[in-house]
Amino acid sequence: MAITSMRFRLSISPEDYLAYYQGGVRSVVVRAVDGRRIEFPAAKLQPFIIHTGIRGLFEIAFDDHHRFVSLRRIAD
């Protein structure tokens, strides 16, 4: 099984994340550093929320069937 990873920057205020947290928004759509479009479940961001929101450079990994494998913050 091949793993594909992509990096993206994210900056979401605490107020904006509230819509995700309350279930009003189910997925996040971002542009990878290389320009590709990435869509993934908003719930995957929950471990990264702090009082100032969610910010940083992230790396997301998918398997060869485009299923989520992992998400990690790699820089602020």
> What are 16-30's pLDDT values in tens digits?
888 777 877 889 999
pLDDT, residue 54, reads 95
From CA 33, how far away is CA 7, in angstroms rounded? 6
From CA 75, how far away is CA 64, in angstroms rounded? 26
Q: Is 59 left (phi over 0), alpha (psi -120 to 50) or beta?
A: beta
pLDDT, residue 26, reads 86
pLDDT, residue 18, reads 83
From CA 63, how far away is CA 35, in angstroms rounded? 19
Q: Do 3 and 63 touch, CB atoms closer than 8 A?
A: yes
pLDDT, residue 19, reads 79
From CA 3, how far away is CA 28, in angstroms rounded? 20
- Confidence check: pLDDT of 57 > 90: yes
Class of CATH domain 3-75: mainly beta
What does pTM read for this prediction?
Answer: 0.89
Mean pLDDT of the chain: 92
